[in-house]
Amino acid sequence: MPDISTLVFFSLATLGLLIVPGPAVLYIVTRSVSQGRAAGLISVLGVHAGSVVHVAAAALGISALLAASATGFTVVKYVGVAYLIWLGVRKLIRKSEGEQAIELRVQSKQRLFWEGFVVNVLNPKTAIFFLAFLPQFVYPDAGPVASQMLLLGLLWIVLGMASDGTYAMLASALADRVRRSARVRRRLDVGSGLVYLGLAAWLTTEKA
């Protein structure tokens, strides 16, 4: 199994990626702003129920890829690098959309949960994390690859719930400002773009 230093570094790298707003975070924030803290936290639960799908797919599929083909793994890694670069550049060059309020229809708790689930199952940011980022912390000589990926995936879910839960709490507390401030949204875009590019640069230095 992964040693303590690997788990600590994985946790730090994961938090760096999780704090960057993606489709799931935007869903959680908009629901928190529109319907309040409880709606945001229910959305968090739905999002990370969707994360379980990615964890299972990674443990079953990526473990087989790692065992079968170093070339295949390298291809997947550089697809991930390209995607992170694309995300970073898009965030940096995106123009401000002006002062627009976040307005959504009120949804039931069940609808909030299942929409969050679907958002994250189809979330390209989450998918690329499990395809190209998580495998960098898996070492064949440390034990069964599938077990390592399962452990790291579960750790990612725990950290994700903490990170996304914090977004939900802050968004509900600062609802009026988040809803109306184009400046805040632009600063988030710039910060997100730099984090994506930094992660892409780091990923290129890792060996399969």
Each residue of 70-113: pLDDT tens digit?
666 666 667 767 766 876 787 778 665 544 444 445 678 888 89
Distance (Å, whole) CA 76 – CA 185: 31
Amino acid in the structure at residue 131: L
Average pLDDT on 132-146 reads: 77
The residue among 102 and 153 whose pLDDT is bigger is 153
Average pLDDT on 128-149 reads: 78
How confident is the prediction for the chain on average, in pLDDT? 77
Q: What is the pLDDT of residue 99?
A: 45
Confidence band, pLDDT 50/70/90 cuts, at residue 185: low
pLDDT one-digit tens code per residue, 46-75 = 999 999 988 888 888 765 565 456 666 666
Average pLDDT on 132-148 reads: 78
Return the residue matching tokens 């401030």. Answer: 181
